Structure 1
Amino acid sequence: MFRTQYQIYFSIVMALAMTMFFSCKSNLDEVNKIGISENEPIGIAENINLKYTDSGRVTANLLSPIMLDFSNRDFAYNEFPDGAHLILFDENNEQSTVTADYAIVYDKTGIIDMQGNVILASAQKDTLFAEQLYYDQGREWLFTNKPVTFRRGQDVINGKGFDSDAKFNQAEVLEIDGVITLDE
């Protein structure tokens, strides 16, 4: 009788232990996130002066009063809520600049979304004014479907979109509203 009761208790304990063992899951990621809200940035940087280099040559300089780092999200990004100023240097060390009231950089896609009073001035003195402009870093391509004004030489072109390579060699204003030629 004692052995039968022992076997019953042992079987119940083993069944409970096995149930607990197989029902537990690894939640190390959740434990690591304790105290960090996904709605809050994981880091904040102020007065940024970030220089990008390639083979020892400065290719870009990013200036911004504040950057919020949301790399704790599944779709990681960096946000520049107070605007950004980017200076790009070509192979001849000529400068093109981009300014925007707001910018966000998505790590996985390499897309930069610039919004609010976006002004892009190339080294060749071409200038683009837009409400919003996207830059695909991988393809080095600029695009938008928002209203734009593009000035190239003496021509000012208004349209409802823009598509171009980063050097403006293939610049195209979409749905052109009008072209004004200025006398200089």
Structure 2
Amino acid sequence: MACENDLEKIRDMQRTRLSVDEVKNVTSYLSQGGRMKAKLTAPLMLRYFDSVPRVEFPNSLHVDFYNDSMQIESYLDAKKAWYYEQQSRIVLTDSVVVIRIDGDTLKTNELYWEQNLHKLYTTKDVEIRQKTKTIFGKGFESDEQLKNGRIDSITGILLVGASKFAGN
């Protein structure tokens, strides 16, 4: 029995290895029209240059979103994310949380961000916490600022008593 190397298999393995960039402890800034819009931090970023070019964040990511006055207006956390540059689509999965500065919070296990359409959506279960209520549902769509959102199917509403916020 002899050991044989298939030259084409070796070349394929080298191409596969060379088609991924790895960056640890990433901090990246997104600007539009000369204004900073977001700051992304992640422990690991993988950029794939294969048939489906994409950027993967396999070990979590955090994003701070800024308004035109450079004040943070919302935060986003997810355990995993993928950015498909050609489609301008971001897919966030596993414990996705978006918190607006006013306290409104969206929780889901999957969220799509269509950057060209300026919208967020999911077909999965969602929980939206507001000062006076928590809304549970399935399916959600909103603008990027979470200001004009709608739940496809509301499955429950939990009202929060005013006394809880008054310290009583």
Q: TM-score range by the shorter chain?
A: 0.7 to 0.9
In the alignment, is the contact (CA less than 8 A) between 1:113 and 1:134 conserved in 2?
Answer: yes
Number of equivalenced pairs: 151
1:158 corresponds in structure 2 to 136
In the alignment, is the contact (CA less than 8 A) between 2:35 and 2:68 conserved in 1?
Answer: no
Residue among 35, 45, 51 paired with 2:29: 51
In the alignment, is the contact (CA less than 8 A) between 2:77 and 2:98 conserved in 1?
Answer: yes
1:147 corresponds in structure 2 to 125
In the alignment, is the contact (CA less than 8 A) between 1:36 and 1:42 conserved in 2?
Answer: no
Aligned-pair distance for 1:41?
A: 4.6
Q: Secondary structure at the match of 1:82?
A: coil
Q: Residues 28-64 of structure 1, C-alpha deviation per residue, up to 9 Å, x if partnerless?
A: xxxx9782117x7521010001112234432110100
Q: Secondary structure at the match of 1:35?
A: helix
1:83 corresponds in structure 2 to 60
**Deviates further, 103-112 or 85-94:** 85-94
Distance, in Å, in 2 between the alignment partners of 1:161 and 1:55 is 32
Aligned-pair distance for 1:162?
A: 0.9
Distance, in Å, in 1 between the alignment partners of 2:101 and 2:71 is 6
Corresponding letter in the other structure for 1:36:
R
1:172 corresponds in structure 2 to 150
Gaps of 5+ in 1: 1-31
Corresponding letter in the other structure for 2:155:
D
Q: Residues 143-165 of structure 1, C-alpha deviation per residue, up to 9 Å, x if partnerless?
A: 00111100123110000111100
In the alignment, is the contact (CA less than 8 A) between 1:111 and 1:136 conserved in 2?
Answer: yes
Residue among 2, 16, 31 paired with 1:37: 16
In the alignment, is the contact (CA less than 8 A) between 1:164 and 1:170 conserved in 2?
Answer: yes
Distance, in Å, in 2 between the alignment partners of 1:63 and 1:130 is 20
1:110 aligns with 2:88: yes
Q: Residues 80-133 of structure 1, C-alpha deviation per residue, up to 9 Å, x if partnerless?
A: 000110111012333211000000001111111100110000123210010111
Q: Secondary structure at the match of 1:167?
A: coil
Larger radius of gyration: 1
Give the share of equivalent positions with the same residue, in percent.
Answer: 25
Corresponding letter in the other structure for 1:57:
R
More strand by percentage: 2
Residue among 73, 95, 99 paired with 2:77: 99
Distance, in Å, in 2 between the alignment partners of 1:60 and 1:33 is 37
What TM-score results when the alignment is normalised by the length of structure 1? 0.76
In the alignment, is the contact (CA less than 8 A) between 1:94 and 1:123 conserved in 2?
Answer: no
Aligned-pair distance for 1:170?
A: 1.4
**Deviates further, 43-52 or 168-177:** 168-177
Gaps of 5+ in 2: 1-10
